[in-house]
Amino acid sequence: MARKIVVTSGKGGVGKTTVAIGLGIALSRRGERVILCDADFGLNNIDVMSGVENSIAYDLVDVIEGRCRAKQALVPHPEFGNLFVLPSSHSVPERYVSPQSLKLVLDALAPQYDYILIDCPAGIDEGFHRAVAAADEAIVVTNATVSALRDADKVITVLKSYEPQSLSVVVNRMRGDMLSSGECLSPEEIEELLKTPLLGVLPESYELYTSQFTGNHYPFRLLARNLATGKRKLYDTTRRYGGLLGRIRKAILRNL
């Protein structure tokens, strides 16, 4: 039976969809059968970001309105045989979709898969509640900035009212140079501030976000392992900034 996990955030632009896709690919590379469900009916783009937009025949609204079965709407990823995308509606983005109807679709698919990652709209409007009501667990994606953390705290407060089986935080785009010099909150401080356990930390890294959709980058593999095993080993974003070479890297970043 699939673990249904909503991936959400308070603030837009923190990399929520990127994290959902990278995590889904990394899980599929572990042999898990994964569905990436796009529950953002307003700004849906999982299909584009995962490269399956030209392969869509049906979408969630087609399933809900009885034009196809749930499995017919799943789009297999061209590179990862265990990964499937469930797209939201493109033709009728304003069409109302109830939380109950989304949950029924995902419940019907759950017995045949290991994970269903539900990409949720940012904020706490109607789309947020629809996505959260269909999930059993929640991951909140944030950055180590004051505005992102404040919004994440608000989202966590609302999520707790749903009493999810598990609730955790992923800190995305952590600047190792700023962390090593004490210019931003540490993962431990963020965990204490949000009063929610960290599932993982992903660095601000050009290499990470150009190779994320291979699922073979260590920070994403570590994140997937933490989710699958319940461990909480955090990626050390400061290790590139120790010693002489690290100081040179920090100096270069300061002058960019």
The structural domains of the chain, with segments of one domain joined by +, span 3-254
Cα separation, 253 vs 92, whole angstroms: 44
Q: Dihedrals φ, ψ of 166, to 5°?
A: -150, 150
β pairing state of 75-76 and 34-38: unpaired
Could you report the per-residue pLDDT of 110-163, keeping only the tens digit for each?
999 999 999 998 889 999 999 999 999 999 999 999 999 999 999 999 999 999
**Is the per-residue pLDDT at 61 higher than 50?**
yes
β pairing state of 198-203 and 115-119: unpaired
**Is the per-residue pLDDT at 60 higher than 80?**
yes
pTM: 0.90
Could you report the per-residue pLDDT of 203-220, keeping only the tens digit for each?
987 566 555 566 678 899
Domain range 3-254, its CATH number among 3.40.50.720, 3.40.50.300, 3.40.50.1100, 3.30.390.50: 3.40.50.300
Q: What is the mean pLDDT of the chain?
A: 88
Amino acid at 238: T
pLDDT at 240: 65
Could you report the per-residue pLDDT of 168-197, keeping only the tens digit for each?
999 999 988 888 878 889 999 999 999 999
